[in-house]
Chain A
Amino acid sequence: MDLYQELILEHSKRPQHAGLREPFEAEVHHVNPTCGDEVTLRLHIVGEGPTAVVEDVSYDALGCSISMASVSILAEETIGHPLSEALTTFEAMKAMLTSKGEDPGDEEVIGDGVALAGVARYPARVKCALLGWMAFTDALHQSGHRVAVTGTDPEEGTP
């Protein structure tokens, strides 16, 4: 099946940066009520405003290969990156996942995230791929970092 790219399988079997770590400013717990997938995600940000950097994203996730791979890629693509860049990555991921297959994703921006492009053709799975990212933006809100984040409503963006 074209959906299950090798990269997705790799990430889901060996999720990068998995586990919950200290320190963190916000911890959130998100579930996908239709299938019971869950993620607990902690966010640690250093610096303020334009100089803010995602120092750590740690998580404990239980879910299908798509949601596991997505949160693993999230950690890989955001840890150590400026917050503004992480948000650009999020926007690009979301745009790709909700494009119904129109947007193949830009590897320059979302890295391994392009492996999830096939998910956009399966509306029932888009939520799986967005679960971790919704937790990430929610944690960002809770951490009090004042950055313009669009699409933190988990309902939004799923067709």
Chain B
Amino acid sequence: MTASPFSPEEVARIRADFPILARTVRDGAPLVYLDSGATSHKPVQVLDAERDFYERLNSAPHRGAHALSEEATAAYEGARERIAGFIGAAAQDVVFTKNATEALNLVAYAFSGSPHPGIPGSERFALGAGDEVLVTEMEHHANLVPWQELCRRTGATLRWIPVTDEGRLDLSDLDSLLTERTKVVAVVHASNVLGTLNPVDELVERAHAVDALVVLDACQSVPHLGVDVEALGVDFLAFSGHKMFGPSGIGVLWGRRELLEAMPPFLTGGSMIETVRMEASTYAPPPQRFEAGVPMTAQAIGLAAAVDYIDALGIERIHAHELALTERLLAGLAARPWVTVVGPTDLESRGGTVAFVVDDVHAHDVGQVLDGSGVAVRVGHHCAWPLHRRFKVAATTRASFAAYNTVGEVDALLDALDTVPEIFGDPRLRGAS
């Protein structure tokens, strides 16, 4: 790793771009926001970009020939180009959705029991009994439930790659899980609970060897690592804007062009058609085919500004910074024998997400105590319930980092954590004093 973490002065400058970080919570405690994995905060640059759109350009893109609409169209398509460039893609292969969940559903919905009569090549998306969809035990519900539903609709079988005690994919049985029957492999790039980075190269190679398509949930990787769709070699990739300093209400689906062209639409209506007659309609080419209705123009423009912001910081430095914080947190947790980390405890193939449990204390209670000190973490199953079952825990506490987090905030978390056993330790022992 050549990039260096941000210096304290640099972090201070970054923090100044995020107005919300200056606020206090509860009884005046400074906000220590360690929940960027759920959603990140937004810098003024992004807020300004959205506001500027509404103040100067507001109109419906791709509809009408008046000056504003033309300018809005240019801004919207310019945002697409910018965001596509960020992941090494061509603009026409990038579809805007409302979030990653919708993007993943869009792909899952393209598969059905029979080809679409009006769309050449859609046989590729016809599934039936005997076909299989392979997911993993660490998927977010957004990359699990749509595939369960697909299997229910088509009679295909859902299978999954198990997770090891260390929180990594157990590929030892991959030969029997990934076979000629497998049509889709849907996998998360960076786990939103464990922090694990999955071996995409290997999975892509194995999947493509049997002609299966690879759908990558890149929600927790695009904001934190350099992601290049061509280098990854996957067939589809989905992420959300709100986890990467962008606005809520915008997500991205990238797909290989020939696949997007062979896919039926998900949502239908205005803007996605080619011709419409009372009897039937034909559809626009991608990406418009998948963008029914007036799109989230301001959000796309805001996300493009977020991408500019990330590029200005440097994604390698963001990753290095988050890993440095992760290292400090992992070391701090390791020094507390009453805490168990769920997920890799070293920095090997890892992102800046750390989930843990405290002996005999429910995560909800841990989170409540931390919140009392202004430390915002996520508690619960983080939309990965099967993964929590796998580790036989009802819930975990999760800290997740972004570029604006400081070493002091890691220490604030650890300090607040030390009050947990003080509060919840066995009352008989506590009563002894």
| Interface status of A35 (Cβ within 8 A of chain B) | yes
| Interface status of B54 (Cβ within 8 A of chain A) | no
Q: Are B394 and A62 in contact (CB under 8 A)?
A: yes
Q: Are A36 and B395 in contact (CB under 8 A)?
A: yes
Q: Are B372 and A9 in contact (CB under 8 A)?
A: no
- List the A side residues contacting B364 at CB < 8 Å: 35, 37, 63-66, 125, 128
- List the A side residues contacting B423 at CB < 8 Å: 1, 4, 9
* Closest partner residue, chain A, to B381 (CB atom): A36
> In the complex the two chains form, what is the Cα distance from A9 to B424 in whole Å?
7
> In the complex the two chains form, what is the Cα distance from A10 to B423 in whole Å?
12
| Interface status of B58 (Cβ within 8 A of chain A) | no
Q: Are A65 and B369 in contact (CB under 8 A)?
A: no
- List the B side residues contacting A13 at CB < 8 Å: 426-427
Q: Are B380 and A64 in contact (CB under 8 A)?
A: no
Partner of A65, one of B372, B380, B381, B424: B424
Task: Known contacts A1-B423, A9-B427, A10-B427; decide if A35 and B379 are in contact (CB<8 Å).
Answer: yes
Q: Are A35 and B363 in contact (CB under 8 A)?
A: yes
Q: Are A37 and B394 in contact (CB under 8 A)?
A: yes
- List the B side residues contacting A65 at CB < 8 Å: 361-362, 364-365, 424
- List the B side residues contacting A122 at CB < 8 Å: 368
Q: Are B394 and A1 in contact (CB under 8 A)?
A: no
| Interface status of A155 (Cβ within 8 A of chain B) | no
Which parts of A70-100 form the interface with B (CB within 8 Å)?
none
Partner of B380, one of A4, A6, A34, A62: A34
* Closest partner residue, chain B, to A1 (CB atom): B372
> In the complex the two chains form, what is the Cα distance from A64 to B369 in whole Å?
12
Partner of B394, one of A36, A66, A128: A36
Partner of A36, one of B388, B426, B427: B388
| Interface status of A3 (Cβ within 8 A of chain B) | yes
- List the B side residues contacting A6 at CB < 8 Å: 427
* Closest partner residue, chain A, to B364 (CB atom): A64
Q: Are B368 and A35 in contact (CB under 8 A)?
A: no
Number of interface residues of A (CB under 8 A): 21
B368 nearest CB across to chain A (Å): 6
| Interface residues as binary, B332-366 with A (CB distance below 8 Å gives 1, 0 otherwise) | 00000000000000000000000000000111110
B386 nearest CB across to chain A (Å): 11
Q: Are B381 and A35 in contact (CB under 8 A)?
A: yes
A37 nearest CB across to chain B (Å): 7
- List the A side residues contacting B369 at CB < 8 Å: 1, 4
Q: Are A35 and B427 in contact (CB under 8 A)?
A: no
Q: Are A64 and B427 in contact (CB under 8 A)?
A: no
Q: Are B362 and A64 in contact (CB under 8 A)?
A: yes
Q: Are A35 and B365 in contact (CB under 8 A)?
A: no
> In the complex the two chains form, what is the Cα distance from A128 to B423 in whole Å?
19
- List the A side residues contacting B394 at CB < 8 Å: 35-38, 62-63
Q: Are B424 and A35 in contact (CB under 8 A)?
A: no
A16 nearest CB across to chain B (Å): 15
- List the A side residues contacting B309 at CB < 8 Å: none
| Interface residues as binary, A1-15 with B (CB distance below 8 Å gives 1, 0 otherwise) | 101101001100100
B378 nearest CB across to chain A (Å): 10
User: Which residue of A3, A6, A34, A36 has the most chain B CB atoms within 10 A of its CB atom?
Assistant: A36
Partner of B365, one of A34, A36, A38, A64: A64
* Closest partner residue, chain B, to A65 (CB atom): B365
User: Which residue of B368, B379, B381, B426 has the most chain A CB atoms within 10 A of its CB atom?
Assistant: B368
A60 nearest CB across to chain B (Å): 13
- List the A side residues contacting B362 at CB < 8 Å: 63-65, 68
B385 nearest CB across to chain A (Å): 6
> In the complex the two chains form, what is the Cα distance from A1 to B369 in whole Å?
7
> In the complex the two chains form, what is the Cα distance from A112 to B41 in whole Å?
41
| Interface residues as binary, B185-224 with A (CB distance below 8 Å gives 1, 0 otherwise) | 0000000000000000000000000000000000000000
Q: Are A35 and B380 in contact (CB under 8 A)?
A: yes
- List the A side residues contacting B385 at CB < 8 Å: 36
Q: Are B368 and A1 in contact (CB under 8 A)?
A: yes
- List the B side residues contacting A10 at CB < 8 Å: 427
User: Which residue of B363, B365, B388 has the most chain A CB atoms within 10 A of its CB atom?
Assistant: B365
> In the complex the two chains form, what is the Cα distance from A4 to B371 in whole Å?
13
> In the complex the two chains form, what is the Cα distance from A34 to B379 in whole Å?
9
> In the complex the two chains form, what is the Cα distance from A120 to B365 in whole Å?
15
B409 nearest CB across to chain A (Å): 20
* Closest partner residue, chain B, to A34 (CB atom): B380
7 closest pairs, A vs B, by CB?
Answer: A64-B364, A64-B362, A35-B380, A36-B394, A36-B381, A65-B365, A1-B372
A–B pairs, 25, beta carbons within 8 Å: A1-B369, A1-B423, A3-B368, A3-B372, A4-B423, A6-B427, A9-B423, A10-B427, A13-B426, A35-B363, A36-B380, A36-B385, A36-B395, A37-B364, A37-B394, A37-B395, A62-B394, A63-B362, A63-B364, A64-B364, A65-B362, A65-B364, A65-B365, A122-B368, A128-B364
Q: A3-B368, A3-B372 are in contact. List 13 more A-B contacts (CB 8 A).
A: A4-B369, A10-B427, A13-B427, A34-B380, A35-B394, A36-B395, A37-B364, A63-B362, A64-B365, A65-B362, A65-B364, A65-B424, A125-B368
